[in-house]
């Protein structure tokens, strides 16, 4: 089963040439290989990635997050069209680890960004559903490399700001954009702790009609709040702006800030330094995740751990001693 090879697969060279020539159909087919869990596809995927690697990296990678209802699709539609008007080619990848997406959702994504979906300069692709966050991050990261090698200048990676995937996306992008709404105030719109501090820019969306004044107030509040946070290593101070994606207001400002950011981090050397760190961290994240899989993947260890948890809570064993016993069990299993 592992070595079953689906019909209609091309050779690695054919995918590679197609991707590098800017062929959109072959890009999609290559991404399908990346997303596949078949053994033969995994080998093929590795070959493809290995060869396109030197042609990747020439884009600005932007992470975009915000809870459902904040208007992410409308924002990306509006922002994407603005970028295309500036002569850019834009790839939009979306990650939603909470839902197991099927092929149906690709249509879903294209429906929610109808104009973009029909533009030659835009490429929309939801992330593969994955068993683990690490798996999704790998596949999205490699899809990003393929899109870059295919000639996309801007990669937008969209995620839902309620889970764990934001850290992964932050770790693979250059600029991190957080969409918020005015008036949600202290309830905080479900944004998870820690996400705010990742933001290079906060955009208060839906700043139109009756909402303009509230949005401006929210902008000031967030701007003041972000000031009390430590300066990022990039040297960039996060900015807050208002926008109405549906009315196309304030979208240009977002792009101007990205351009300013890029100029700053190109000049101070952070851009390349951060990219290098991200690449190396990508390896270490995979190693650390795989180490955990080796350990926690064992059924014996799993059942023993749940006994340990109970014994710890009832003060029968100390956490340190419990860990020692479990590690010894792991070592003995080799």
Please give the residue ranges that form the binding site for its own copies (CB under 8 A). 46, 49-50, 53-54, 56-57, 138, 141-142, 145, 185-188, 190-194, 196-197, 221-222, 224-225, 227-232, 276, 279-280, 282-284, 286-288, 290-292, 294-295, 308-309, 312-313, 315-324, 326-327, 330-331, 334
**How far apart are alpha carbons 317 and 311 in whole angstroms?**
6
Of 57 and 108, the one with the shorter C-beta distance to its own copies is: 57
What is the CA 30 to chain-centroid distance, rounded? 19
Rounded to a whole number of angstroms, the minimum distance from the CB of residue 282 to its own copies is 4
* Backbone φ and ψ of 178, nearest 5°: -115, 125
Of 131 and 290, the one with the shorter C-beta distance to its own copies is: 290
Looking at residue 99, the DSSP 8-state letter turns out to be S
- Edge-to-edge strands, sheet with 122-126: 122-126, 90-95, 154-160, 60-66, 175-181, 201-205, 239-242
Of 49 and 122, the one with the shorter C-beta distance to its own copies is: 49
* Backbone φ and ψ of 69, nearest 5°: 100, -10
CB 53 within 8 A of CB 86: no
CB 134 within 8 A of CB 289: yes
Rounded to a whole number of angstroms, the minimum distance from the CB of residue 28 to its own copies is 20
> What burial class does residue 320 get, using C-beta atoms within 10 Å of its C-beta: 0-12 exposed, 13-18 middle, 19+ buried?
exposed
Rounded to a whole number of angstroms, the minimum distance from the CB of residue 205 to its own copies is 16
Instruction: Measure Cα distances from 314 to 112, 245, 311, 329 in Å.
Output: 51, 54, 5, 22
Instruction: Measure Cα distances from 135 to 152, 169, 245, 248, 250 in Å.
Output: 23, 13, 32, 36, 35
Of 79 and 271, the one with the shorter C-beta distance to its own copies is: 271
Rounded to a whole number of angstroms, the minimum distance from the CB of residue 45 to its own copies is 9
Q: Can you tell me whether residue 153 is helix, strand or coil?
A: coil
Rounded to a whole number of angstroms, the minimum distance from the CB of residue 104 to its own copies is 28
Q: Which residues pair with 124 in a beta bridge?
A: 92
Rounded to a whole number of angstroms, the minimum distance from the CB of residue 54 to its own copies is 5
Rounded to a whole number of angstroms, the minimum distance from the CB of residue 202 to its own copies is 10
Of 172 and 265, the one with the shorter C-beta distance to its own copies is: 172
Of 111 and 328, the one with the shorter C-beta distance to its own copies is: 328
Of 60 and 204, the one with the shorter C-beta distance to its own copies is: 204
């Amino acid at each position: 089963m592992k070595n079953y090879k689906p019909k209609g697969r091309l050779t690695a060279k054919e995918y590679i040439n197609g991707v590098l020539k800017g062929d959109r159909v072959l890009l999609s087919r290559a991404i399908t290989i990346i997303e596949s869990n078949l053994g033969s596809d995994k080998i093929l995927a590795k070959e493809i990635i290995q060869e396109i690697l030197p042609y990747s990296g020439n884009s600005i990678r932007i992470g975009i997050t915000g809870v459902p209802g904040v208007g992410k699709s409308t924002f990306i539609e509006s922002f994407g069209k603005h970028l295309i008007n500036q002569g850019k080619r834009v790839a939009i990848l979306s990650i939603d680890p909470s839902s197991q997406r099927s092929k149906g959702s690709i249509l879903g994504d294209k429906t929610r960004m109808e104009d973009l979906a029909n533009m030659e300069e835009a490429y929309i692709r939801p992330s593969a559903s994955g068993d683990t966050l690490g798996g999704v991050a790998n596949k999205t990261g490699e899809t990003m490399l393929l899109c870059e090698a295919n000639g996309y200048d801007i990669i937008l990676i969209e995620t839902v700001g309620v889970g764990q995937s934001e850290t992964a996306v932050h770790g693979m992008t250059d600029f991190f954009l957080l969409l918020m709404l005015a008036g949600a105030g202290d309830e905080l719109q479900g944004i998870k702790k820690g996400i705010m501090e990742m933001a290079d820019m906060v955009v208060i969306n839906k700043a139109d009609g009756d909402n303009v004044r509230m949005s401006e107030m929210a902008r000031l509040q967030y701007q003041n709040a972000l000031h009390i946070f430590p300066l990022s290593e990039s040297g960039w101070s996060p900015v807050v702006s208002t926008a109405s994606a549906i009315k196309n207001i304030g979208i240009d400002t977002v792009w101007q800030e990205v351009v300013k950011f890029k100029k700053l981090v190109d000049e101070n050397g952070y851009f390349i330094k951060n990219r290098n760190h991200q690449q190396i961290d990508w390896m270490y994240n995979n190693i650390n995740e795989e180490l955990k899989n080796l350990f926690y993947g064992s059924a014996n260890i799993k059942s023993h751990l749940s006994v340990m948890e109970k014994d710890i809570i009832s003060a029968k064993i100390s956490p340190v001693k419990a860990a020692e016993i479990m590690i010894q069990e792991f070592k003995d299993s080799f």
